[in-house]
Structure formats: structure tokens, C-alpha cells
């Protein structure tokens, strides 16, 4: 028999409404707080089977590395203990840049392959989910998590673990798909982000703020940026390879990167998307207050 969640991940209430267009992914909307999540609980076997075939990409764009360096510059005012941890760090590209800038770097990942790759880069790794007992309490300046929180169905537990290892006034930075995005509203059931059991939680600026405030964090800022042109092409032009949209988006990034006019236009669009809360990617900065 399938096992279903009896309470909302976020507010604990039991008032759900199915989202019919996303019935294939078992999505429900909480009528109390608006949080969207998969009501069906995947089995360990389902998750193992899914992630065994999960694509890995060892290549990374030089533009992404440049964005990582810029992000680390934003983190400089928080550098006290000099320790940073990336939860779900993949192949460790971000932490490799942080290490070059003098940070003591830590990471977590599930697969032995990813852990081995990261350890070769000098990253201190933990296998599996973040376990607070593996670290000294309140010892990190910064916690990052890129496109991870949507994969879990215990966000309050995860943020409580962040709180335990982060020093007072330390920073959490994370990214996740924005369920309020223009892309989701236009593509509807064809929005490729909705996939079970890969993605179990779907956030908006309001709900990501709530999950952190529940654990005593304060919002510094929440941005919603970007629109994936390639994702629209994949839908409307019936591209056969779902990875084609990544190629199209990277081509546009490269075209924009060194063109002042396009850079200005991109910044203006992202400013508007953040003001409206409609960009594809949600980028959230939170400070631990106590």
C-alpha cells in the first residue's frame, strides 16, 4: 500500500488540496500555508533506483565558475571561523573555488563517486544526509545548498540541522526552483521541474521564508531570477533530448556575458522578475539570529 503524508511538511496542518494538473507527481497544496509538496512518500527502493540512473555532469561552464567567485565575494563579510559547507555539493565545483579563496571547505553527498571526486579536490566530505553530530556546534560561517531542498520531504529537520552547525549571525544561501515562476505558469503540466520522486517539495518566496523563520532565521534577501529559453524550446519545438534546453541556455549566457547592452537588459529583466517573484530560480539568503 502506498504511504501518504498526513501533515504538511511546513505548517503541520492536514488540509490539502490535490493539484489536478500535477496528479502524475502526486502534488498537493496545503490550504493553511500554501506549501506545495508530493503527498506520496517514495520508498527507499524507489529513490535508490531513481538516483542510480541520475545523470552526472562533470563539466562546468567557465561562466558558472565566475558566478561562484562573485557569490563568494558576497560571503566575505560573514567570514569569521573560515569554515564553509555545501550540502549536496555534487562534484564540488563551488567548494573548489571557495578553497582557492582560502576557505576551509566541507561537503555532503550521497554517492561514493561524488564523494571520491570531491575528496580529490581537498574537500572534507560526509556521505549521506547532513548529520549535525559530525560537526562541532555553531562552527560554520556559511552554509550553501544549490538545488537540493526540493529533493527532500523533511525541510524543517534539514533547516534545524543547519541551525545547529551554523554560528550566530552566520549565513545560509540556497537555490531552488520557483513554483511561482512565469515558466511554470505558462508551461503548466509540461514544466519539466515537476518530476516524482526526484522533486518532493516546491517553494515560493513566501514558503521558503516561512521554513527558515520557523527555525529562528531572518531573511536578508530573496531573489527570483532567470527564464530558461531552452525549456520553452524543448516544449514548443518538441526537442527530443530534454538536455537540449541546457545547451540553448548556455549559448545565450555566453552571448550575453561580454555584451554590455545584453548585460544591462539581463539585469533589468532579473530585477523585474525578483520584484514580481516570477523568475525561474529562487535564491535565498538567511541569517541565523539565535
* 120 vs 255, more confident: 120
Average pLDDT, whole number, for the chain?
A: 91
pLDDT band, residue 48 (cuts 50/70/90): confident
**pLDDT (tens digit per residue) in 179-219:** 999 999 999 999 999 999 999 999 999 999 999 999 999 99
- DSSP bridge partners of 224: 282
Residue at 214 is within a domain: yes
Would you state the cell numbers that stand for residue 132, as one nine-digit string?
549535525
Query: 60 CB contacts (<8 Å, ≥6 apart)?
Result: 91, 93
What is the chain's alpha carbon radius of gyration, rounded to the nearest angstrom? 19
pLDDT higher than threshold 50 for residue 240:
no
Closest CA to 145 of 6, 15, 282: 282
Predicted confidence (pLDDT) per residue in 55-113, tens digit: 665 678 899 999 999 999 999 999 999 999 999 999 999 999 999 999 999 999 988 88
Question: Is the pLDDT score of 235 beyond 60?
Answer: no
Reported pTM: 0.93
pLDDT of residue 228: 81
Range name among 44-53, 64-73, 123-132, 188-197 with the lowest pLDDT average: 44-53
Least confident stretch, 53-57, 118-122, 168-172: 53-57
Decide if 174 is inside a domain.
yes
Residue 131 maps to a domain: yes
Rounded to whole angstroms, the Cα distance separating 120 from 208 reads 34
% of the chain surpassing 70 pLDDT:
91
In a domain, 37, yes or no: no
Q: Are 100 and 121 in contact (CB under 8 A)?
A: no
87 lies in which domain range?
59-288
Q: What is the pLDDT of residue 239?
A: 47
Half-sphere exposure of 111 (CA within 13 A, CB side): 17
CB 289 within 8 A of CB 229: no
User: Grid coordinates in use for 200?
Assistant: 518532493
Does some domain include residue 5?
Answer: no
Task: Encode 131-148: b = buried (16+ Cβ within 10 Å), e = exposed.
Answer: eeeebeeebbbbbbbbeb
Does 283 reside within a domain?
yes
In this prediction, residue 57 carries a pLDDT of 56
SS3 sequence, the chain?
CCCECCCCCCCCCCCEEECHHHHHHCEEEECCCCCEEECECCCHHHHHHHHHCCCCCCCCCHHHHHHHHHHHHHHHHHCCCCEEEEECCCCCHHHHHHHHCCCEEEEEECCHHHHHHHHHCCCEEEECCCCHHHCCCCCEEEEEEECCHHHCCCHHHHHHHHHHHEEEEEEEEEEEEECCCHHHHHHHHHCCCCCCCCCCEEECHHHHHHHHHCCCEEEEEEEEECCCHHHHHHHHCCCCCCCHHHHHHHHHHHHHHCCHHHHHHHHHHHHHHHHHCCCCEEEEEEEECC
User: Distance between CA atoms of 281 and 21, rounded to whole angstroms?
Assistant: 21
Read off the CATH number of the domain in which 161 is found: 3.40.50.150
Please state the domain count of the chain.
1
Q: What is the grid cell recorded at 174?
A: 540556497
Question: What pLDDT was estimated at residue 246?
Answer: 63
Q: What is the pLDDT of residue 28?
A: 96
Q: State the pLDDT confidence band at 229, using cuts at 50, 70 and 90.
A: confident
User: Looking at the predicted structure, is the pLDDT value of residue 245 above 90?
Assistant: no
Paired sense of beta strands 140-146 and 83-87, if any: parallel
Q: 140-155: per-residue pLDDT in tens? A: 999 999 999 999 999 9
Amino acid at each position: 500500500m502506498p504511504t501518504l503524508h498526513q501533515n504538511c511538511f511546513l505548517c503541520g496542518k492536514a488540509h490539502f488540496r490535490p493539484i489536478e494538473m500535477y496528479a502524475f507527481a502526486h502534488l498537493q497544496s496545503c490550504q493553511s500555508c500554501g506549501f506545495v509538496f508530493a503527498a506520496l512518500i517514495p520508498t527507499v527502493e524507489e529513490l535508490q533506483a531513481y538516483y542510480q540512473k541520475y545523470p552526472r555532469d562533470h563539466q562546468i561552464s567557465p561562466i558558472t565558475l565566475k558566478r561562484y567567485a562573485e557569490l563568494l565575494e558576497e560571503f566575505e563579510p560573514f567570514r569569521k571561523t573560515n569554515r564553509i559547507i555545501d550540502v549536496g555539493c555534487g562534484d564540488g565545483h563551488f567548494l573548489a573555488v571557495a578553497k582557492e579563496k582560502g576557505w576551509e571547505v566541507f561537503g555532503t553527498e550521497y554517492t561514493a563517486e561524488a564523494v571520491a571526486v570531491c575528496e580529490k579536490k581537498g574537500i572534507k566530505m560526509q556521505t549521506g544526509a547532513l548529520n549535525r553530530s559530525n560537526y562541532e556546534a555553531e562552527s560554520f560561517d556559511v552554509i550553501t545548498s544549490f538545488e537540493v531542498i526540493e529533493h527532500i520531504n523533511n525541510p524543517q529537520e534539514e533547516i534545524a540541522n543547519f541551525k545547529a552547525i551554523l554560528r550566530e549571525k552566520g549565513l545560509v544561501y540556497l537555490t531552488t526552483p520557483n513554483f511561482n515562476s512565469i515558466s511554470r505558469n505558462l508551461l503548466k503540466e509540461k514544466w519539466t521541474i515537476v518530476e516524482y520522486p526526484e522533486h518532493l517539495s516546491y517553494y515560493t518566496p513566501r514558503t521558503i521564508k516561512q521554513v527558515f523563520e520557523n527555525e529562528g532565521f531572518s531573511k536578508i534577501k530573496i531573489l527570483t531570477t532567470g527564464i530558461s529559453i531552452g525549456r520553452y524550446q524543448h516544449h514548443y519545438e518538441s526537442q527530443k533530448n530534454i538536455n537540449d534546453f541546457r545547451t540553448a541556455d548556455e549559448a545565450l549566457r555566453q552571448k550575453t556575458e561580454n555584451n554590455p547592452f545584453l548585460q544591462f537588459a539581463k539585469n533589468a529583466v532579473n530585477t523585474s522578475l525578483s520584484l514580481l517573484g516570477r523568475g525561474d530560480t529562487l535564491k535565498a539568503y538567511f541569517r541565523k539570529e539565535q
